[in-house]
């Protein structure tokens, strides 16, 4: 029983720490993506509203993602992969001489993608910790009920 409680305590501390990390990660993602949006808007002012929109998306057939991910389930991990064979700098969709501010926006979104992967890993970890703790709490609860029952029997 003591070791059960110890395990629950340890996992609870891990869980709370991980929750803190997750919130910090989400905040950073929020800040980075905001920077991306801001620079995108500034680029649109320079380039013209109709020159930075969905109308410029590549007509190339097929469109292939150059930024892919590799996911493993146990242990849960996500890694970014750059597909060099199909690499196509999407900056070119918006003109050969795009303003620096658009490149900066691209960089922010690339950083956001990295942060998104990290956030997904942390999200998964926290849900796993929660499941483990709930499982142990159920065991503890069953144990306590049994202990109570045995004591009542003794008294009678």
- Computed on alpha carbons and rounded to an integer, the radius of gyration of the chain in Å comes to 25
Q: By C-alpha distance, which of 33, 60, 50, 2 is closest to 119?
A: 33
CB 119 within 8 Å of CB 25: yes
Residue 131 half-sphere exposure, CB side, CA atoms within 13 Å? 6
Nearer to another protein, 70 or 156 (CB): 70
In angstroms, give the least distance from the CB of 44 to another protein: 9
Between residue 26 and residue 85, which ones bind another protein under the rule CB under 8 A? 26, 29-30, 33-34, 36-37, 40-41, 52-54, 57-58, 61-73, 76-85
CB 52 within 8 Å of CB 106: no
Using CB under 8 A as the binding rule, whether residue 127 contacts another protein is answered as yes
Which residues form the interface with another protein (CB under 8 A)?
Answer: 12, 15, 19, 22-23, 26, 29-30, 33-34, 36-37, 40-41, 52-54, 57-58, 61-73, 76-91, 102, 105-106, 108-110, 112-114, 116-120, 123-124, 126-127, 130, 133-134, 137
């Amino acid at each position: 029983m003591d070791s059960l409680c110890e395990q629950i305590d340890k996992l609870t501390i891990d869980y709370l720490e991980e929750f803190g990390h997750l919130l910090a990660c989400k905040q950073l993602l929020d800040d980075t993506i905001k920077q991306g949006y801001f620079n995108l808007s500034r680029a649109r002012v320079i380039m013209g509203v109709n020159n930075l929109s969905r109308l410029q998306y590549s007509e190339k057939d097929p469109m292939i993602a150059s930024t892919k991910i590799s996911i493993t389930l146990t242990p849960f991990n996500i890694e970014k992969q750059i597909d060099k064979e199909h690499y196509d700098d999407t900056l070119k969709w918006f003109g050969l001489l795009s303003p620096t501010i658009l490149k900066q926006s691209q960089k922010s979104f690339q950083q956001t993608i990295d942060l998104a992967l990290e956030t997904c890993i942390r999200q998964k970890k926290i849900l796993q910790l929660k499941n483990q703790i709930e499982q142990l709490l159920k065991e503890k609860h069953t144990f306590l009920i049994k202990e109570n029952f045995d004591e009542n029997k003794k008294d009678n």
